[in-house]
Structure 1
């Protein structure tokens, strides 16, 4: 219920509830005095702490990082009502969070958004650390993301890599194209192939792009993510959840409803096929695997609700990194033509121009991987990693961290930290081609030293690092090999401005693409 349509009695009830919640928070704070020195932080108001700062300073992440710079600290403590939120911009402290204190900080926050997206915490990304979570994580690692399964689905990924090259080839040559639409088309199609074994929910788009239902699905995924990462007051005062005080709850409800309308019919139909009609000759995609897994008693391992929740997990985890990274990388290359030329030359030397680049070529494409790493460093998808929660009292960098504290490792704070990086705001892929003493090395998208964040680390690390790497580099390599990219005639530089709600480009990238291979290498769209 929004404030604009709330009647007087409801408004009075909300004010009373808010006051009561704050009073309870104050009593909680008084009864839980810190047992040691907390990290430095800005002075807050009585009871609400720094919550008013989040209302007055938007986007909140800019205020948080500015406050840390003013305090000259790489670890800070912000109090939002009774919740201590610890922010980290140091690679050393980030390694402490994700390695040394990994188990103590392995829980997740509970919020209106995470509860809805996870269907009551029945999956991996949002659920608390425990036996159920361990079972789900083991299944993701050993079944869906196993080398056997990824090899089995290689054909699907290659098919969509072929499709995206042909899709761009068939776009009108006059004027510019929307690069974001292109990369979203590939990322969503790969996700659909691997999840459901099909490219579209209903009717295929004639041009090979996203259909209306796919566009609605993608939009819902990103709205759900934005709601999850927002600094919503109800995240810190549970009593206020359900009041929709800043419209975020209505947004996430609508987004989850769309995901359900898209995914549920396919899941229901496939479960009926396997569990009442005898199934198929073989398991062909991730949905088949999830439905056919059995427990020790030979019963289905997962219920419909659990499979639905896992699919929402896959939705929100699969397409944001590759989409964001490839768009930013091409934008940076357009502003640095010498980098674009080096990347294209590498493809010509390693692959040539008589065949299309394949996943098997990725280990040799070190310069292209270096460009991708540099984009991940400068332009992560979101400002912070998903929150970690302290399961017990602990310490970080010598400071006391109370049980229940939320720890936010800053992606942007690490990636642009001048204590870690020389010229941190410059796009310099070469910095990733050698180790700290100048020796050349094979480039990967892993970053064990936590100098910046791509896939995370520790117990809560993404299970899909291999597939994420393959999707990102394959898409970037295919677009660079297949086309000569230039700026539109009326543009001299790409405006590298991030959005406020996330760190996507504020405006979709527009560029011109001229085919650079023989026409016979651009196959027909296969739906």
Structure 2
């Protein structure tokens, strides 16, 4: 037995050594082949790991910004076995996302996409193919069309008021609330109700846990960049993501089975929600349906929620801006009713606050990675087919060549400005642009603006005793999205007269 174990250990050592030797040969071959073409500049690299060490200290989007400041708006990075080009200027973002969008519209294969998103069967991780186009068309017409969005307006209002009711109840008892927790629960309920018409508390709690684990993964999974190490799973991420995928799949199977049972027991064949539509389409398998739903649950719950938390954090840190926004709401809406979605277009300063939040705190700081489908040139540099391309949205929004005092939170910069956030102006790209632009952008903008307006107009917001605006930090938590690292505890009470809340259907306790 001992001889067998010794033989196995010897085999393992020799196998690893052979893999390392093969990897070194491939890296040497790659570097020799690079000499025949002009690649973008980049920092010094190390054997085997390439430039990986530059991203291991601090937050990756901060590190990439520093690299861009030193080496320019387009840089080349060898991250293990993967070549990555990072662009950090609006001009080059336009080149990638518009001028050569047809070349960079695909996605690379990634472990995250493999373990949770069915090897790119949905939207976010899908390569550029017919399946992607069909999925996007289906979501655009069946979930995110203006007509469909209008049908969910009352639902958005009801859930926002429910969130506010909870905050008031806690505030009446002088208990502070975690704004992040309340907002995330609200948007998970909104998303699941839109997708499959259910609002099961236990199911949503499990989904929130899954999405939280998912977002904490980030883009830097070790085995993505060192694929020879994947069988060994040194980071533990392969096993963790696989279990997470199985957990989601099992939960979604129970939801789909329940919905199919309801449909079979119903006398009506009317399709009521997106799940009904997807199940009725022969083009999508059950596995694809689950992946598409995960795309929307991930994109619809965390991103908007975190943007609202960033907006309220900045407003509380800048009382003068909070006061100006509140004055606008009082002037336009008055104090005899609550703000409604129909009012949003009349609130110019509110729109500027939302845009400035998305500029300074884009939750998708690095967007989703693009893949060059053929060899091309960008800014005079050669980009081989198969190269990954990342647009540093965070860096672009803070570019001092474009923005005056870029680190300041100043919504007035968007007043009387033609620059918008919808993908036509490359100075600020919270939803990306081109063929891979966020399909739920319009819903996100309405939801964020409405919730911020409701909080500022209808609520008296203060920090817990002992805290001041100076105590509020902007520390980030990096993952697939970037959220506020530390909680935002708030004491929320009514700001308007009791009759206003009663008319809206809220219960009112004496304050």
On whether the aligned pair clears a TM of 0.5, the verdict is yes
Question: Retained in 2: the 8 A contact 1:222–1:316?
Answer: no
**Which residue of structure 2 lines up, in the alignment, with residue 460 of structure 1?**
436
**Which residue of structure 2 lines up, in the alignment, with residue 301 of structure 1?**
283
For 2:289 and 2:478, the matched residues in 1 are separated by 33
RMSD of equivalent CA atoms: 2.4
| Equivalent residue runs for 1:27-426 within 5 Å | 28-29=29-30, 32-33=33-34, 35-55=36-56, 57-71=57-71, 73-173=72-172, 174-202=174-202, 213-227=203-217, 229-274=218-263, 277=265, 280-293=268-281, 300-426=282-408
Residues 394 and 161 of structure 1: is their aligned pair in 2 closer, same or farther, counting only changes over 3 Å? same
Give deviations 1:326-367, integer Å, cap 9, x for gaps.
Answer: 111111111111111111122222222222222211211221
For 1:34 and 1:158, the matched residues in 2 are separated by 59
The match for 2:473 among 489, 492, 495 is 495
Residues 282 and 504 of structure 1: is their aligned pair in 2 closer, same or farther, counting only changes over 3 Å? same
For 1:363 and 1:468, the matched residues in 2 are separated by 15
Name the structure where helix makes up a greater proportion of residues.
Answer: 2
For 1:481 and 1:76, the matched residues in 2 are separated by 45
Q: CA deviation at 1:33?
A: 3.1
Q: CA deviation at 1:482?
A: 1.8
Give deviations 1:451-479, integer Å, cap 9, x for gaps.
Answer: 12211110011111111112111111121
Give 4+ residue runs of structure 1 displaced > 6 Å after superposition: none
Give the structure-2-normalised TM-score: 0.90
Question: Retained in 1: the 8 A contact 2:364–2:430?
Answer: no
Residues 231 and 279 of structure 1: is their aligned pair in 2 closer, same or farther, counting only changes over 3 Å? farther
Q: Structure 2: any 5+ residue segments left out of the alignment?
A: 1-7
Residues 182 and 407 of structure 1: is their aligned pair in 2 closer, same or farther, counting only changes over 3 Å? same
For 1:517 and 1:199, the matched residues in 2 are separated by 30
Question: Retained in 2: the 8 A contact 1:169–1:522?
Answer: no
Question: Retained in 1: the 8 A contact 2:421–2:429?
Answer: no
For 2:478 and 2:31, the matched residues in 1 are separated by 36
Give deviations 1:248-289, integer Å, cap 9, x for gaps.
Answer: 223323332332343221112223444x55663532222122
Residues 452 and 445 of structure 1: is their aligned pair in 2 closer, same or farther, counting only changes over 3 Å? closer
Residues 65 and 130 of structure 1: is their aligned pair in 2 closer, same or farther, counting only changes over 3 Å? same
**Which residue of structure 2 lines up, in the alignment, with residue 439 of structure 1?**
none
For 1:384 and 1:524, the matched residues in 2 are separated by 40
Residues 14 and 417 of structure 1: is their aligned pair in 2 closer, same or farther, counting only changes over 3 Å? farther
Q: Please state whether the residue corresponding to 2:477 is helix, strand or coil.
A: coil
For 1:30 and 1:40, the matched residues in 2 are separated by 14
Indicate the larger mover: 453-462 or 354-363: 354-363
Q: CA deviation at 1:409?
A: 0.6
Give the structure-1-normalised TM-score: 0.87
Q: Please state whether the residue corresponding to 1:79 is helix, strand or coil.
A: strand
Question: Retained in 1: the 8 A contact 2:189–2:204?
Answer: no
Q: Please state whether the residue corresponding to 2:490 is helix, strand or coil.
A: strand
